[in-house]
């Protein structure tokens, strides 16, 4: 097996591969694009960091390539779609730099609390201005962590050493994980209103782009400080400029920016902003860790075919793929649909298969479902590592088959067990009733209320097993039967079973020139509740959705894209 290492990685990682008698390891750094395309043809594995750009053209030239290993978290420099098309596994090392990033976030927090950069600059300019740099202790302060993944957990542990009171917002972390960390899981609004320091550790996705916007900044206390070592795009930088200029918050510290290097020079000029050039993972230890880890992963894959931290779909034979494809599509759409309509923290994902599905290997389908459910909160989740990501977040995945006869020849039942809400931390005037010695933020949590969200779906295959765009069907929501094509843009709503709802929705959509492609309704006569799914040709604006929700009988409405 031939392995090309085209960027600098840990010497120990290189030696780990060189010890394998069947491996030929070539280290060729600083290759030009043309040189890489020339030499890549005969290699089985390619290991890179950030400098090498693994484009579609490079992958097309790599006739023997089986795996691309990225020593680091992101894979922005790898064309993952092209790799998937060519059957090449792509791996990264998401945990290798967790400690370094967490420590940098904490360093920025301390620098904000004590005005260290400004004090340093003042003294070097010949001033001895002690009175201008009155700081703040971290002890007993509320730290709000948005995103309680690997890095967020490391930040929480360090905060407790400083006797801070830690709360977190993460809908996809279970109460068990938070309890073990002595962290209170709270609603986002409570975290924003009560935190003295807020640190962001979010994955970047369509749901988190611009997550911290003007409205959320206005919820923060004027004494609060914001830290971002995640992705620059999760903050609306224009809104942050306004907040800093108006002194709506006390300060901010950024290691990442929407554009790097940042072109928004106005943001950098605020005296209450601390900034560093994306160096959160830039430590000797982190670079050593990711180099060794990617070498281990590539070695394991080449020797056994086991993919760890892969970011693309697993390799399947053509026959297996054709058999699973309709159900992979159904599972992904069901997961996307359910993730879009649930509110609360997920503790357990239950997946049950009926009919012909009970006779085949459904593990890839389940992984696809879990991936779709977690994708809004994790940019590294995929069909290979979905269960591992769920386990990290304390979410149990239960997969089962049933021989019970249902109305469809194949059926997937997807159920989420959720926890609703938690008790908010006390207001500023009441903080004295939660001494740090009594567990800090752990005393903020109340007994959780549990409930379930449940959907079922099927694939209606045409003659000779042909699949069309309307083949994936939603056939039940929370035990209420209905049948709607699970594709495109959907308007889902829950309502009291009273007259006028359908007319109101149809009239509102028609008046705003939104064409209805399908309308499916279901009713529960015992509870006098109903649900509806409207297939529409156009997106629904927030204003239109708010108008729909003004009808008294409508309890919930959401636009979903699958």
Q: Residues 189, 260, 269, 285: which is the catalytic one?
A: 260
CA pair distance 61, 73, nearest whole angstrom: 25
Q: Residues 49, 104, 201, 231: which is the catalytic one?
A: 231
Structure tokens at 179: 């309890």
CB proximity list for 269: less than 8 A, separation 6 or greater: none
User: Which one, of 64, 191, 197, lies nearest residue 140 by Cα?
Assistant: 197
Task: State the burial class of residue 450 (Cβ atoms within 10 Å of its Cβ: 0-12, 13-18, 19+).
Answer: middle
Active site residue 260: yes
Active site residue 469: no
DSSP 8-state secondary structure symbol assigned to residue 461:
-
User: Which one, of 426, 559, 393, lies nearest residue 488 by Cα?
Assistant: 559
- Tokens 């007259």: give the residue: 499
Task: State the burial class of residue 318 (Cβ atoms within 10 Å of its Cβ: 0-12, 13-18, 19+).
Answer: exposed
User: Bridge-partner residues for 24, per DSSP?
Assistant: 2
Beta-carbon neighbour count of residue 40 at 10 Å? Answer: 22
CA pair distance 248, 225, nearest whole angstrom: 10
- Evaluate the omega torsion of the peptide bond into residue 261 and state whether it is cis, within 30 degrees of 0: yes
Given the DSSP bridges, would you call strands 345-355 and 184-185 parallel, antiparallel or unpaired? unpaired
CA 72 vs CA 136, 391, 496: distances in Å: 35, 21, 51
Query: How would you label 204-223 residue by residue, b for 16+ Cβ within 10 Å and e otherwise?
Result: bbeebebbbeeebbebbbee
Query: Do residues 440 and 165 lie in contact, with contact meaning Cβ atoms separated by under 8 Å?
Result: yes
Task: State the burial class of residue 127 (Cβ atoms within 10 Å of its Cβ: 0-12, 13-18, 19+).
Answer: exposed
CA 447 vs CA 189, 198, 419, 424, 434: distances in Å: 19, 25, 10, 12, 17
Active site residue 278: yes
CA pair distance 155, 220, nearest whole angstrom: 20
Beta-carbon neighbour count of residue 87 at 10 Å? Answer: 12
Q: Residues 114, 278, 296, 406: which is the catalytic one?
A: 278
Structure tokens at 17: 């591969």
DSSP 8-state secondary structure symbol assigned to residue 310:
B
The set of long-range contacts for 428-434, using a CB threshold of 8 Å and a minimum separation of 24, is: 431/140, 434/165
User: Which one, of 285, 291, 219, 277, lies nearest residue 248 by Cα?
Assistant: 219
Q: Give the distance from CA 484 to its chain's centroid.
A: 28
Helix, strand, or coil (residue 46): strand
What are the residue numbers of the active site?
Answer: 231, 260, 278
């Amino acid at each position: 097996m031939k392995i090309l290492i085209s960027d600098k990685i840990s010497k120990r990682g290189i030696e780990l591969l060189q010890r394998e008698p069947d491996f030929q390891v070539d280290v060729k750094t600083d290759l030009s694009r043309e040189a890489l395309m020339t030499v890549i043809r005969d290699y089985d594995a390619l290991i890179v960091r950030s400098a090498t750009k693994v484009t579609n053209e490079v992958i097309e030239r790599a006739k023997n390539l089986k795996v691309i290993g990225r020593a680091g978290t992101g894979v922005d420099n790898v064309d993952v779609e092209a790799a998937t098309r060519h059957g090449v596994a792509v791996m990264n090392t998401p945990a290798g730099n967790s400690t370094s990033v967490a420590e940098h976030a904490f360093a920025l927090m301390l620098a904000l609390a004590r005005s260290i950069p400004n004090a340093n600059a003042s003294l070097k300019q010949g001033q001895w201005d002690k009175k201008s740099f009155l700081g703040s202790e971290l002890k007993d302060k509320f730290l709000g962590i948005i995103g309680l993944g690997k890095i967020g957990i490391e930040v929480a542990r360090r905060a407790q050493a400083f006797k801070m009171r830690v709360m977190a917002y993460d809908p996809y972390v279970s109460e068990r994980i938070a309890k073990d960390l002595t962290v209170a899981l709270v609603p986002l609004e409570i975290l924003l209103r009560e935190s003295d320091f807020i640190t962001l550790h979010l994955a970047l996705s369509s749901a988190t782009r611009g997550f911290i916007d003007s409205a959320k900044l206005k919820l923060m206390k004027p004494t609060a400080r914001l830290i971002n070592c995640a992705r620059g795009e999760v903050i609306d930088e224009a809104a942050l400029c306004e907040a800093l200029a108006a002194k709506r918050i006390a300060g901010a510290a950024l290691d990442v920016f929407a554009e790097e290097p940042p072109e928004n020079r106005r943001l950098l000029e605020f005296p209450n902003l601390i900034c560093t050039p994306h160096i959160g993972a830039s430590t000797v230890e982190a670079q050593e860790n990711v180099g060794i880890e990617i070498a281990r992963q590539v070695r394991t894959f080449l020797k056994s075919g086991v993919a760890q931290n892969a970011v693309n779909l697993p390799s399947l034979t053509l026959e297996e793929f054709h058999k699973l494809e309709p159900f992979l599509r159904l599972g992904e759409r069901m997961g996307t649909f359910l993730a879009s309509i649930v509110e609360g923290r997920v503790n357990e994902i239950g997946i049950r298969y009926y009919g012909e599905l009970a006779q085949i290997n459904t593990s890839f389908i389940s992984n696809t479902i879990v991936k779709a459910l977690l994708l809004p909160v994790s940019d590294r989740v995929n069909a290979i590592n979905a269960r591992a990501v769920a386990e990290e977040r304390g979410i149990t995945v239960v997969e089962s088959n049933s021989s019970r006869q249902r109305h469809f020849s194949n059926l997937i039942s997807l159920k989420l067990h959720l926890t609703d809400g938690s008790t908010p931390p006390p207001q500023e005037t009441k903080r004295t009733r939660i001494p740090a010695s009594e567990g800090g933020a752990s005393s903020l949590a109340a007994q959780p209320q549990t409930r379930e969200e449940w959907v079922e779906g099927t694939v209606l295959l045409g003659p000779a097993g042909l699949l069309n765009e309307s083949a994936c069907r939603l056939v039940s929501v929370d035990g209420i039967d209905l049948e709607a094509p699970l594709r495109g843009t959907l308007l889902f709503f829950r309502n009291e079973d009273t007259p006028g709802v359908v007319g109101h929705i149809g009239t509102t959509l028609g008046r705003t020139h939104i064409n209805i492609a399908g309308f499916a309704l279901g009713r529960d006569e015992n509870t006098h509740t109903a649900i509806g799914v409207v297939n529409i040709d156009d997106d629904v604006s927030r204003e239109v959705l708010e108008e729909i929700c003004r009808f008294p009988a409508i309890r919930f409405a959401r636009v979903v894209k699958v």
